[in-house]
Amino acid sequence: MTEFKRPVSVLVVIYTPDLQVLLLERAAHPGYWQSVTGSVEHTESLIETAQREVAEETGIMADLAEFKDWQTTNNFEIFAEWRHRYAPGVSQNTEHVFSLEIPQAHRVRLAPNEHRNQCWLPWQHAAEKCFSWSNRAAILKLPALMNVPPR
């Protein structure tokens, strides 16, 4: 029996104290840059999904307490090319936004089947580079959420 993905996911914005943001380039879509994302599996909580996805996609091992739940959700249409992963008729996803501050920018260990490249950019440039409107919106909210005046 085929196990379908749940249409519930997390977006995790990883950043440094000076608001450098980590972006990952999708392996299957060169030029599509994003933060860490991933679907909830089985009985995971949202924060456990955030922790697992960060570890899988970057190799960063962070405690659950280090993740900030923004209490923000975004609903969007699942790209047609990925709908086969979901139950028939499912076309919408609910994304929950989290962030993770790390002390400094560094090279991360990419999951080669998911991402082909990485970069750290100032938050404004990172937002411009994202292909996803929800990812862009989250990055643009980062200074206010972190109580840092935008420059």
Identify the pLDDT of residue 88: 94
Q: Give the integer Cα–Cα distance in Å for 32 and 27.
A: 9
Question: CA separation (Å) from 21 to 5, 93, 104, 124, 145?
Answer: 28, 24, 10, 9, 14
Identify the pLDDT of residue 11: 98
Question: Which amino acid makes up residue 43?
Answer: T
CB 57 within 8 A of CB 36: yes
Interval 38-82: pLDDT, tens: 999 989 999 999 999 999 999 999 999 999 999 999 999 998 988
Identify the pLDDT of residue 1: 58
Which residue ranges in the chain fall short of pLDDT 70? 1-2, 148-151
8-145: what fold?
Answer: Nucleoside Triphosphate Pyrophosphohydrolase (3.90.79)
Residue with tokens 């998911």: 114
Mean pLDDT for all residues in the chain: 94
Identify the pLDDT of residue 107: 96
Q: Which of 11, 55, 19, 15 is nearest to 36 (CA)?
A: 11
- Return the structure tokens found at 108: 């991360």
Q: Give the integer Cα–Cα distance in Å for 124 and 114.
A: 24
**What's the predicted TM-score (pTM) here?**
0.94
